[in-house]
Structure 1
Amino acid sequence: MPVILRRTRKAALVFLSAVIAFVPLGAAQAASVSIVRDAETEKMIRDYAVPIWRAAGLAPSAVEVHLVLDPNINAFVAGGQHLFINTGLITQVDTPMELYGVIAHETGHMAGGHLARGGEAMDKMALPYYASMIAGLGAIIAGAGDAGMAILAGGAQVAQRSVLAYSRQQEGSADQAGATYLQRAHLSGKGMLDLFEQFRDQEALSTTSQDPFVRSHPISEDRLASLEQRVKASPYYDTPDTPESIHEFKMVQAKLNGFVDDPSVTFNRYPKSDQSDFAHYGRAVAYHKMGANEKAQAELAPLISKMPDNPFLWELKGQIDYEGGQVEASIPSYRKAHELAPKEPQISLALGQAMLATDRKEYTKDALELLKQSIADDSGNPFAYYQLAIAYGKLNEIGMAELSTAQYYEGIGASRDAFGHAERAQKLLKTGSPEWVRAQDISIANQPKRD
């Protein structure tokens, strides 16, 4: 079952950012968003995206994928090459083709540098608004209240139209670029076209009834007509999704549905009469959420028998035992998952964590190596540093334990705690060593500001 992390990001744009498709993080940045980590889902997304990124001239290793725990259909890019995809998008689209159509569109924003240029454009479009605001306030102060309010309203309307026009221009550009990347990758753009056609009908609804994707990706008739012409001209337009990709997609959907929804909803979606692989998977997660772990394992058993080389089934089997208090029993399943997917950092982390939880000394060094491997493959997971600190502590390597703890706190944005542990790490580590230098860097970066 996915791991949820809380992440808060400072808003990069505050002026009219909500209607810019490539900056919808403006709303999410101002508040906290829930980031879901799930190895199986992330692998599927990256498998879809890598050919598209390469077709766009982007280095796949430079692009980060973030799963947002949100039931609404939406996706966006932010901070350069960071792709954010709502779980609701994954669970509600009908085909893999639709999902990689959205990925191609968002890649158009990334490759086109729309986020960086959007900030400059917003600044330019803000100037007339600020000028009208100053003029309007001046008129109100001078006693011409009605005239002043009219100036303010007019300035706001002009700014809003300018932003909407700019947004539609960038959306159309991302469509065309996305269609090009799909063709270069020998993929059909039919899914992107089908999905956008569905959303077009929502534009007549009030904004409160629209999916966030529609509000942040305004779809005009002209834009859709241009996309249709471009997509249908591709020689790969009629290329269907493979049975294997459809199966993988529906398995991920079932897993996410089982995790996100109340178990009663999952059991209604996947009744006992449904003996498909997807239904077994969704019910296994739902039973686990209820604490009915024997029933969860019973649902998982036929899947493992049918797909014994699927590491994510073994990962879930281990998780059901681990979170059900059967720590020792979880280790063989996690080991099997790791054997099948040795480069999956979240599986390495899960096996290392389970080993440490047994308190068996003979597991500690193996756990340490697994956690190092996990961090080498995914340095952005703070929880891996937390477990690494435990492993170093068990081995009485206190300096390294302090450094790992500092890295954990830095990862979750707790600067004061990161500074304190980094200071202690420097006192315990060999001066000038790479570890000591890392602790010094953390200390400097997180030093408390003086009043």
Structure 2
Amino acid sequence: MVKIKKLLFIFLFFFSCNSIASEKIKIIRDAEIEFFLQKIIVSISQNLKEEGKKFYPRLILNNEYNAFVTGSNKIYVSSGLINKAESISEIQGVIAHEIGHLILNHHTSRLINKDKSSKYSTIAAIAGIGLSIGGKLNSNAATGLIIGGQDLTTKSYLQFTRIQEQAADKFALDIMKKAKISLNGLKSLLSRLSEEEMLNQPLRSDFYRSHPVSKLRLRQLNKYINLPSSSKSVKTKIFINDNNISLEYISNKIKAYNQNSSEILNNERINNEVLYLYNNVVGNLRIGKYDLAINNLNELIVKFKNYPFIFELCGDIYFAKGDFKKAIENYKRAIKILNSNSVDSTDLINFSLVKSLLQTNEVNNYKQSIYILEQLVKTNPRWSYLWRLLAKASGRINQKGISYIALAEEALIKKNFLKAKKYVSLAFKFPELSEEYRLRGQEILIRTKEKK
């Protein structure tokens, strides 16, 4: 009995410690950063045998050099990985390793008592998120509140064995070799991390603790580097149209949104003119000097006329300024450029567009926002704030039945089953409710019974 009590104490201590860690997790949702990471993922996974297997990046605001997976199709990348990496090939190596865990189904052998860990969902959902306008964490402006919350609960009790780590290493090396990705960046990373083995445990990086480095792993890497085919490796660059998105630029963006505004504006040590202008845009945006931000941004627009994320940023500035007409124009321009390149990275910009449309008093804009939201919820059904916006937009054009169904979906995501049933009941009182939304309401009622 004493042993059981001790085990229970250790178990509760473990959960309380991880609860604190979970509260510190912040998911950054940013279209440009996710586009950059998605391109890196595609460069690795395009030769996978698993047809149609897609992985999506999520950026964690954390200064550690780290990345992890939880068994879903999302790969969580720490901002520290981007800021501390010396090359894109380093990031490719780390992400290839994480893809290896997913493809090799390592998570299925490591999940323990998932049902008993439901309280993590609440903790993770409370976590702040987003590179929102003004650089402040704001759950209304940001987009990862529920998307990331449920999935991140798994990380607290998912740890891979050394054998699985070595298997993921081998997978990463194989897939990088097939994709002709340089292994020199990964070698540089492992060499740096192996030096930490000589340090005391408290000084070691979080990446080392979850991804133990050894001479064996470096020897395995060197064998691949010495293969004849490795000499054909090419340096990876991330392009959209003729614009090269550099690691330095993405790292600078993360720092610009997380540094003190005065530090950004007074930093004259940046020799790169583009980064200097960009930092002035972000710095002035964050302190509310919108006209100065726009003036600096116009200089960048001259240089990068077909770069979509410049216009997204322009939309953000006009939104913050309260000029929603120009915000809409710029968001639409960004989406048009992305669509012309057949790039599937417009969800977050469409989200910003919807918020701008809803700030106007025009019925056509409300209808347009409803159309966009109906497309967004098809690919992001667990994004609760989309349902809230759909309810808001529908209510403004007196489509109250749709509004109640949307509120029911939001309540279901938040596990408020009684409220979900109540909203469906209210929706069914409107005879003009379309068959599509009636079926959705019936599905909600079935799902509430299943959850019970």
TM-score in terms of structure 2 length: 0.76
Instruction: Give the aligned partner of residue 229 of structure 1.
Output: 223
Q: 1:82-105: CA deviations, max 9, x gaps?
A: 311122222221221111111111
Q: CA deviation at 1:322?
A: 0.4
SS at match of 1:280: helix
- Distance of 1:308 and 1:94 partners within structure 2: 29
Please report how far the alpha carbon of residue 401 of structure 1 lies from its aligned counterpart in structure 2 after TM superposition. 1.0
Candidates 3, 27, 32, aligned match of 1:35: 27
- Which residue in the other structure is 2:47 paired with? 55
Contact 2:224/2:230, CA 8 A, preserved across alignment: no
Please list the CA deviations of residues 259-317 of structure 1 after superposition, one character each: whole Å capped at 9, or x if unmatched.
1222244346x527634223322332232122222222223222211111111110110
**Residue 264 and residue 419 in structure 1: after superposition, are their counterparts in 2 closer, same or farther (change >3 A)?**
farther
Corresponding residue of 1:254: 252
Partners of 2:85 and 2:91 within 8 A in 1: yes
Q: Aligned to 1:209, which of 193, 196, 203?
A: 203
Would the aligned equivalents of 1:288 and 1:296 in 2 still touch at CA under 8 Å?
Answer: yes
Secondary structure of the structure 1 residue equivalent to 2:86: coil
Q: Which residue of 1 aligns with 2:125?
A: none
Q: Letter of the aligned partner of 2:164 in structure 1?
A: Q
After TM superposition, give the deviation of residue 32 of structure 1 in Å.
6.6
Deviation track 1:40-65 (CA, whole Å, cap 9, x = no partner) reads 11111111112422323345554333
- 5+ residue gaps in structure 2? 1-9, 113-157
Distance between the aligned counterparts of 2:50 and 2:44, measured in 1?
Answer: 9
Give yes or no for the alignment of 1:220 onto 2:214: yes
**What is the aligned counterpart of 1:351 among 350, 353, 360?**
353
Question: How far 1:219 moved relative to its partner?
Answer: 0.5
The structure 2 residue matched to 1:192, chosen from 176, 180, 186, is 186
Q: Is the 8 A contact 2:47 2:178 kept in 1?
A: yes
CA distance in 2, matches of 1:431, 1:294: 45
* CA displacement 1:356-392 (0-9 Å, x = unmatched): 1111223222222222233344444332222222221
**Matching residue of 1:364:** 366
Find 2:336's aligned residue among 314, 339, 344. 339
Query: Partners in 2 of 1:67 and 1:59 — Cα distance?
Result: 25
Distance 2:37 2:251 in 1: 12
- The total of aligned residue pairs comes to 387
Query: Structure 1 pair 61/260, CA: closer, same or farther in 2 (3 Å)?
Result: farther
Identify the residue that residue 60 of structure 2 maps to in structure 1.
Answer: 68
Cα offsets for 1:94-124 (capped at 9, x unmatched): 221111111111111111111112348xxxx
Find the aligned partners of 1:416 and 1:66 in 2 and give their Cα distance: 32
SS of 1:341 mapped into structure 2: helix
**Equivalent pairs: percent with the same residue?**
24
Structure 1 residue 26: Cα displacement: 7.1
Question: What letter corresponds to residue 241 of structure 1 in structure 2?
Answer: T
In structure 2, C-alpha distance between the alignment counterparts of 1:314 and 1:115, rounded to whole Å: 40
SS across alignment from 2:58: strand
- Indicate which of 225, 228, 241 corresponds to 2:236: 241
- Describe the superposition over 1:157-184 as per-residue Cα deviations: whole angstroms up to 9, x where unpaired: xxxxxx99x7222111111100111111
Deviates more, 1:227-236 or 1:340-349: 227-236
1:124-162 superposed Cα distances (whole Å, 9 cap, x missing partner): xxxxxxxxxxxxxxxxxxxxxxxxxxxxxxxxxxxxxxx
**CA root-mean-square deviation:** 3.3
CA contact (8 A) 2:68 2:75 kept: yes
Match in the other structure for 1:3: none
The 3 A distance-change label for structure 1 pair 394 and 283 is same
Q: How far 1:38 moved relative to its partner?
A: 1.0
Matches of 1:243 and 1:49, distance apart in 2: 11
Match runs of 1:169-180 below 5 Å: 169-180=163-174
Distance 1:336 1:325 in 2: 18
Counterpart residue number, 2:91: 99
Listed one character per residue, the Cα deviations across residues 163-214 of structure 1 (whole Å, up to 9, x for unaligned) are 99x7222111111100111111222222222212212222333343222111
Q: Give SS of 2:229's match.
A: coil
2:71 alignment counterpart: 79
Contact 1:346 1:374 in 2 (8 A): no
State the alpha-carbon separation in 2 of the partners of residues 305 and 414 from structure 1. Answer: 50
Q: CA deviation at 1:227?
A: 1.9
Asked if structure 1 preserves the Cα contact closer than 8 Å seen for 2:63 and 2:79, the reply is yes
Q: 1:446 to 1:202 in 2, by over 3 A?
A: farther
Cα distance in 2, alignment partners of residues 412 and 88 from structure 1? 31
1:239 CA drift (Å): 2.1
* Number of the residue aligned with 1:381: 383
- Correspondence for 1:402 among 380, 400, 404: 404
Max Rg structure: 1
Assess if the C-alpha contact under 8 Å between 2:36 and 2:245 holds in 1: no
Residue 297 (structure 1) aligns with: 294
The CA distance in 1 between the partners of 2:269 and 2:417, in whole Å, is: 50
Letter in 1 for 2:260: D
Q: Which range moves more in the overlay, 104-113 or 237-246?
A: 237-246
Q: Counterpart in 2 of 1:279?
A: 276
Return the offset for 1:225.
1.6
Aligned partner of residue 85 in structure 1, secondary structure: strand
Match of 1:435 among 437, 441, 448: 437
| 1:31 to partner: Cα distance | 4.7
- Judge conservation of contact 1:200–1:219 (CA < 8 Å) in 2: yes
Q: What amino acid does structure 2 have at the position aligned with 1:305?
A: V
SS at 2:161's partner residue?
Answer: helix
How far, CA to CA, are the matches of 2:366 and 2:100 in structure 1? 46
Change (3 A) 1:380 1:203: farther
Letter in 1 for 2:38: R
For the residues of structure 2 that align with 1:53 and 1:290, how far apart are their CA atoms?
A: 41
Give the Cα–Cα distance (whole angstroms) in 1 for the partners of residues 436 and 238 of structure 2: 49
Alignment of 1:326 with 2:323, yes or no, is: yes
CA contact (8 A) 1:53 1:60 kept: no
Q: Indicate which of 382, 392, 395 corresponds to 1:393.
A: 395
CA distance in structure 1 between the partners assigned to 2:26 and 2:355 by the alignment = 22
Partner SS state of residue 33, structure 1: coil
